[in-house]
A and B are shown apart, each in its own frame.
Chain A
Amino acid sequence: MTKEYKTITEISGPLIFIEKTEPVGYGELVHINLPDGTTKRGQVLDTSADIVAVQVFEGTGGLNEESGVVFSGETIKLPVSKDMLGRILSGSGEPLDGGPRIIPEDRVDVNGASMNPYSRMPPVDFIQTGISTIDGTNTLVRGQKLPIFSGSGLPHNEIALQIARQAKVPGSEEPFAVVFAAMGITNEEAQYFMEDFEKTGALERAVVFLNLADDPAVERLITPRMALTAAEYLAYEHDMHVLVILTDITNYCEALRQMGAAREEVPGRRGYPGYMYTDLASLYERAGVIKGRKGSVTQFSILTMPGDDITHPIPDLSGYITEGQIVVSRELHRKGIYPPINVLPSLSRLMNSGIGAGKTRDDHKAVSDQMYAGYAEGRDLRGLVAIVGKEALSERDQRILEFADLFEDRFVRQGRDEDRSIEDTLNVAWDILSELPEALLTRIDNKYIDKYHPAHKSN
């Protein structure tokens, strides 16, 4: 039986300090027995021969010096099993749905190990989300990590759900699962997700981890790691293609800052800890495809940018780790366009390897580049029109201005249940591009114009 220590010397915020212990391992899981008989859990943050610092997941409320501390002798592990599919678990992995405990097939360290870059397969399989602004201009591929950068009050949850509903690899019937981790979102938002999962039957192939706004902040640091551990297990041991949705990364980072402050660390930019980059990388980098294994982990995280500021440390550091971002725009949302995705600051870094002949269509890249260029110029012209009026524009510029409007109205805008195939998306693209004079289509090779331009297409 492991020893119980009653030597707590200090309790400060979420941290407790324990003296005179046997050697304790860094990162060990800790059980704390309160005088009232309840138990809390924690993790070792700093261990020395004299004193051990532990962060308590459920908060230190009710703890006193009488509490007993038991060191488990191992790091935090998640019991994993294929039976996790269809289950709703708490942010620290306990069942919340009234169902039985999970009978583990294995117990896995939630921190995971870093994948050997040499073992990785570069992601190349196109995932069709049915949303034109993603499939057409910011294509997602299997094994990618592509977050949604959004702001408060924008429909990022609806977009995430639409993707979870519609995402598929065309022509493939391989097993597919969703791992959903809520970090500090409100009960209402969580209900919204759960209802949708139940309504569409997605829950059967989903594992849900819920850490809600009133759950302890420290637990938030563990929740995404639990979710990713479950995802890796399903992907690499059970050959499933797993889509992980983490929401909201901003709440996670707030928790990280809170813990940093409690530990009295030297703060970095805007008070966030200096190791936030490494910490976020340890989450985001757990996406990918491994050579010789069938499954994959694809991440679709949601991040609300404080004050819509893309240079804020959270979106900024995330953007350096993830392979692009989908930016939700307040301006488009106000215009009543759904999904209000602004393609200009959006980017999928892995797009080029997932598109083209044999994957999507040979003209995909050229069409996408042309639309980007046209829309970017059109938006600039809008600024000019505001000053000089539309009449002062040259004929060419007026056509481009109209193109920008068409782009928003026909390419970006689509229904909440509208699942466009990639063919549909590219055809819409050609429809609006054909409104431009052909001489302006400088990004498109003549052979594609001959093949796909509505004016040339022989039929």
Chain B
Amino acid sequence: MKGEIYRVAGPVVTITGIKPKMYDVVHVGNEGLMGEVIRIKGDKATVQVYEDTSGIKPGEPVVNTGMSLSVELGPGLLESIYDGIQRPLKVLQEKMGDFIERGVTANGLDRDKVWEFKPVVSSGDSVKGGEVIGVVQETENIEHKIMVPPTVSGTIEEIKSGKFKVDETVCVLTDGTEISMMQKWPVRMPRPVIKKFIPRTPLITGQRILDGLFPVAKGGTAAIPGPFGSGKTVTQQQLAKWSDTDIVVYIGCGERGNEMADVLNEFPELQDPKTGRPLMERTVLIANTSNMPVAAREASVYTGITIAEYYRDMGYDVSLMADSTSRWAEAMREISSRLEEMPGEEGYPAYLSARLSEFYERAGAVKSLAGEEGSITVIGAVSPPGGDFSEPVTQNTLRIVKVFWALDAKLAQRRHFPSINWLTSYSLYTQGLSEWFTENVAPDWVSLRDNAMDLLQQESELQEIVQLVGSDALPEDQQLVLEICRMLREYFLQQNAFHPVDTYCPFDKQYKLLKAISKYSDMAQAALEAGIPMKDILSLESKDELAKVKFEEDFESALNVVLEKMDREFAALGGN
């Protein structure tokens, strides 16, 4: 049967003459533009096309691939930079230059590259879906495990060893099934696992406000909403750079070309702080800028999470950043409106909530079919229009995620970075993780943190009074609270992403910094009770010097110098 185009209206093309299944990938027009079937009605089917449709005419041919949108999974994913439908951008550049023309196909995995395959099973062994049959050293520090596709099982007839290309057979089962190092998986379907766990370990990001006050667990979900200009992108890039996960998947979904270029240029230069190797060796980047086709933007999020699931199945901890899910939701809205579907709230399709929760539900700490424990932590950015958190994408996201890092444009205007509002942010993992913190950071970490949070809460109440009567009208102990909070904000919460030392703050340093502020707080409190004038307590040099220790290369000794000075100064004040 021959298919042909019936109607073209922007990225939505109606085809006739063939009977595809829902979500089948089809190639439309003389140039073979890639698209996906999203509606079937009578003898016609509606296709969302991933490329520009200008000049495409009714009557041009349509070919059905019979497969739904899939990604290629296998060695070579790491270090890749893909567009929303897993076409490597570098290959596209080689094929068509600096601008993306259409109708060009490119394989997700390099077919010519040869990998050293080492089997871990032998013939006669029986294998189930998802089981590991061999390993490939994909990059210096990441061992890629070759797994049987989840839907395949049987007894091994033959297993090879040596150098192979990704599509060459490395294993044959007794029923004749041939297994290569590459498998395909439909992006809209989650990869199966044995079971999901409750996450119990924190994701360490080296960002004080995140690790310290609002931690996310490995396998958890977090949302960063932020009105534009509040430093959301920088925060996400910091997370990608510093999180202590094995694999990073970064999806630039509908974001700015220049910023994407920055990511694409900067990532390959970054060093992994733990191994000293380039960070790209454990990263997959997906870049679909705002002017690239809207349908591919819709797909990019699924492409990313499928790749993340694949590495999770090998037993790795994966962090996935989606920047931004609002752009993704808007892509859904745009396509939905072209289909003339009945709109829900603010024109978004009625299935918005379902799609968002399906996506976030693909995060988690799991036991994979291979028997390994792995996790995907999803950090999604939302960009609420006008900074209005009551809009549907933010609201539907908040119903699902457990951590909320509320970026605040007012803080950004004051150059308080990262401009995460400590009053409106929350983490539902603080309780579940406190055991880990007590064991691995310090026994008093949890109480230090709770105390700091409590003070910051008090500050916001006091500020309301100060707005009315001025700070001098407050009693001295409350003035002290304000001062301690200013220290907490400026010395602890503020962190300079562009400063070579301050950009990453290990837990130990976070703890000592918080402890130092707490020490000043306690001593100042005691001094105040002993009748020392407030002015003298506030004018201690060591207090101001504490502001700068976080920038010091040799933090330990700088801190000790300041703490000793603090002891001396308080002693000089007398009283205690």
Contact = CB atoms under 8 A, between A and B. Distances in A.
Interface in B361-414: 383, 385-388, 409, 412-414
A332 interface: no
A114 B334 CA distance: 19
B385 A269 contact: yes
A324 interface: yes
A266 B57 contact: no
Contacts of A46: 7-9
A310 B388 CA distance: 12
Interface string A93-127: 00000000000000001011111111111110000
Interface string A253-271: 0000000000001111100
Contacts of A114: 99-100, 257, 289, 291-292
A278 B290 contact: yes
Interface in A263-308: 265-269, 273-275, 277-278, 281-282, 284-288, 290-291, 293
A323 B471 CA distance: 38
Nearest to A446: B548
A250 B551 CA distance: 45
Nearest to A353: B262
B69 interface: no
A118 B6 contact: no
A372 interface: yes
A388 B256 contact: no
Contacts of B290: 277-278, 281, 284-285, 321
Interface stretch (A19-27, A78-86, A207-215): A19-27
B229 A118 contact: no
B347 A266 contact: yes
Interface string A109-153: 101111111111111000000000000000000011100000000
A369 B415 contact: yes
Contact of B81 (A24, A118, A277): A118
A325 B412 CA distance: 14
Nearest to B229: A347
Given A265-B337, A353-B262, A281 B99 contact: no
B326 to A, nearest CB: 8
Contacts of A275: 10, 294, 334, 337-338
B9 A323 contact: no
A14 B133 CA distance: 64
A398 B264 CA distance: 47
Nearest to B54: A27
Interface in A34-84: 45-49, 74-75
Given A26-B53, A323-B256, A372-B415, A115 B99 contact: yes
B48 to A, nearest CB: 13
A42 B55 CA distance: 14
Contact of A392 (B7, B56, B472): B472
Contact of A117 (B53, B261, B409): B261
A455 interface: no
A244 B400 CA distance: 43
B284 interface: no
A24 B291 contact: no
A392 B386 CA distance: 36
B60 interface: yes
Interface in A307-356: 310-313, 316-317, 319-325, 344-345, 347, 349-350, 352-353
Given A26-B9, A117-B260, A277 B54 contact: no
A377 interface: yes
B346 A115 contact: no
Interface in B87-102: 89-90, 92-93, 97-101
Given A116-B98, A266-B347, A26 B55 contact: yes
B343 interface: yes
Contact of B383 (A287, A312, A320, A373): A320
Interface string B320-355: 000000010011011001101001001100000000
B385 A311 contact: yes
Interface in B253-307: 254, 256-262, 264-266, 287, 289-292, 294
A392 B470 contact: yes
Contact of A74 (B55, B386, B471, B551): B55
A290 B98 contact: yes
A164 to B, nearest CB: 21
Contacts of A112: 99
A48 B261 contact: no
Contact of A116 (B7, B9, B89, B266): B89
Contacts of A384: 467, 470
A26 B471 CA distance: 66
Contacts of A350: 258
A2 B53 CA distance: 22
Contacts of A394: 470-472
A323 to B, nearest CB: 6
Contacts of B172: none
Interface string A384-428: 100110001110000000000000000000000000000000000
A45 to B, nearest CB: 7
B415 A388 contact: no
A286 B98 CA distance: 13
A324 B413 CA distance: 12
Contacts of A319: 228-229
B293 to A, nearest CB: 8
A442 interface: yes
A122 B262 contact: yes
Contacts of B99: 112-116, 119
Nearest to A291: B98
Contact of B291 (A281, A347, A349): A281
A443 interface: yes
B414 A377 contact: yes
Contacts of B264: 117-118, 120
A1 interface: no
Contacts of A310: 386
Given A23-B58, A269-B385, A275-B294, A288 B258 contact: yes
A316 B14 contact: no
B49 to A, nearest CB: 10
B543 to A, nearest CB: 10
A28 interface: yes
A205 B472 CA distance: 60
A447 B294 CA distance: 49
A281 B294 CA distance: 11
Nearest to B467: A384
B444 interface: no
B262 A388 contact: no
Contacts of B59: 23, 49
Given A114-B291, A275-B337, A320 B228 contact: yes
A277 B229 CA distance: 17
Contacts of A45: 9
Nearest to A267: B347
B385 A120 contact: no
A345 to B, nearest CB: 7
A24 B383 CA distance: 39
Contact of B330 (A111, A123, A277, A324): A277
B385 A316 contact: yes
B1 interface: no
A69 to B, nearest CB: 16
8 cross-chain pairs, A with B, having the tightest CB-CB distances, nearest first: A311-B386, A48-B7, A281-B290, A120-B261, A285-B291, A27-B54, A118-B89, A113-B99
Given A24-B58, A115-B257, 15 more contacts: A26-B8, A48-B7, A49-B6, A111-B54, A116-B97, A118-B90, A145-B258, A236-B98, A268-B346, A281-B254, A282-B291, A285-B257, A392-B473, A443-B415, A445-B551
12 contacts: A25-B57, A27-B53, A46-B7, A111-B52, A269-B346, A274-B347, A277-B327, A286-B291, A290-B98, A325-B229, A392-B473, A394-B472
